[in-house]
């Protein structure tokens, strides 16, 4: 299997008293403001290893901000975010260690346009992790094959479709061997016909046991792959549950209204 994750090898972390049977991500009362605007108003949830979590909700409800906080791209004002027992909101945090554990894929792919697909995937392991180039290249080629882009190794991002670029972006994140993958509305900017190939890649990852947090508007996909669905609105979790229950027996009026608009 390509996705040898670190956590199995690493096992329990004596420094943080974390062991693989505890939640891999744990959020407690997370508050985040941009200036005077409070975007997250006390979010708490746990994610267990190999779980697939979908976060849905209206635009501007803080979903993207929430997952950007999990790998430290945004800092939080109050509360606690623990990844494998390590506090993300700690100024002494080893950011390199956190980012090796948590990969993120963005709505706009954000590939490096001056590098080929293969170079995009190889860059961080070679330049940041200082891994041997030959080894990384082998892994990168395998990852590109895994996202079904054999033959596109030497194409520049500008020569690829949105869906292809997004799959390169997924491969690029996987090259860091993360334990957790965050997907921030990764299909929102894509043409409908290329959405499918990206979702297929994510579905395979989930099936291989990757811990995934998805912010998405693809309700059908959420229902199919998620172990747990969270509905956020105005910075709080309004309702959550396993997908079958969530999509059929939602109790909160806000959830019901949102689902009726989107389904």
Partner 1 sequence: MSGDAFRLDARRFGQGSFCSRIHWRHGLWLGLAFFGSLAFAYAQSEPEQQVPSAIATLILWLPFILKGFGLNLLMSFIAMAAATVLGIGLGLLQVSRSPLLRAPAWFVTHLFRNSPWLVILFMIMFLVPFEMRLPGGETVRIPDWVKATFAFSLPVMANISEILRGAINSIPKGQWDSAESLAFTRGQTLRWIILPQCVRRAIPPWMNWYALLALATPMASILGVREAVGNAQAAMEAAGARPELLIPFYLFLLCLFFAYIYPIAIWTRKLERKYVVAN
Q: Which residues bind partner 1 (CB under 8 A)?
A: 71, 73, 95-96, 99-100, 102-104, 106, 108, 110-114, 123-124, 127-129, 169, 172-173, 176
Task: CB nearer to partner 1: give 22 or 73.
Answer: 73
Look up residue 246 and give its two tokens: 């969530």
State the nearest-atom distance from the C-beta of 131 to partner 1, in Å. 12
The answer to whether 68 and 34 have CB atoms below 8 angstroms apart is: no
State the nearest-atom distance from the C-beta of 241 to partner 1, in Å. 30
CA 56 – CA 226 distance, rounded (Å): 11
Task: CB nearer to partner 1: give 131 or 224.
Answer: 131
Say which residue the tokens 């105005």 belong to. 234
- Counting runs of H as helices and runs of E as strands, what totals does the chain give? 10, 10
105: left (phi over 0), alpha (psi -120 to 50) or beta: beta
Phi, psi values for residue 186, rounded to 5°: -70, -15
Task: CB nearer to partner 1: give 184 or 218.
Answer: 184
State the nearest-atom distance from the C-beta of 73 to partner 1, in Å. 6
Beta bridge mates, 46: 26
State the nearest-atom distance from the C-beta of 126 to partner 1, in Å. 10
Task: CB nearer to partner 1: give 30 or 121.
Answer: 121
**If DSSP codes are grouped into helix, strand and coil, which group holds residue 239?**
strand
Task: CB nearer to partner 1: give 180 or 226.
Answer: 180
How many CB atoms are closer than 10 A to CB 96?
Answer: 10
State the nearest-atom distance from the C-beta of 113 to partner 1, in Å. 7
CA proximity to 179, closest of 62, 84, 101: 101
State the nearest-atom distance from the C-beta of 261 to partner 1, in Å. 29
CA 191 – CA 259 distance, rounded (Å): 23
Task: CB nearer to partner 1: give 111 or 198.
Answer: 111
């Amino acid at each position: 299997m390509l996705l040898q994750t670190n956590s199995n090898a690493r096992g329990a972390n004596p420094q943080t008293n974390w062991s693989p049977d505890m939640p891999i991500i744990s959020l407690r009362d997370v508050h985040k403001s941009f200036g005077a605007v409070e975007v997250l108003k006390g979010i708490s949830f746990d994610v267990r290893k190999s779980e697939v979590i979908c976060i849905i909700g209206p635009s501007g409800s803080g979903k993207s901000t929430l997952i950007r906080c999990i790998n430290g791209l945004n800092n939080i004002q109050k509360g606690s975010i623990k990844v494998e027992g390590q506090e993300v909101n700690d100024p002494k945090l080893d950011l390199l260690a956190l980012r090796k554990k948590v990969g993120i894929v963005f709505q706009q792919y954000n590939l490096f346009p001056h590098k080929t697909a293969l170079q995009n995937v190889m860059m961080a392991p070679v330049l940041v992790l200082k891994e041997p180039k030959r080894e990384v290249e082998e892994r990168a080629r395998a990852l590109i094959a895994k996202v079904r882009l054999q033959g596109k190794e030497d194409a520049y991002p500008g020569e690829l479709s949105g869906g292809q670029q997004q799959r390169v972006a997924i491969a690029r994140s996987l090259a860091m061997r993360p334990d957790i993958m965050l997907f921030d509305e990764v299909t929102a900017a894509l043409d409908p016909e290329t959405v499918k190939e990206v979702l297929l890649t994510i579905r395979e990852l989930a099936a291989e046991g990757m811990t995934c947090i998805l912010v998405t508007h693809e309700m059908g996909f959420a229902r199919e792959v998620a172990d747990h669905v969270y509905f956020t609105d105005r910075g709080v979790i309004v309702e959550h549950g396993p997908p079958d229950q969530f999509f059929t027996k939602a109790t909160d009026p806000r959830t019901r209204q949102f689902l009726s608009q989107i389904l």
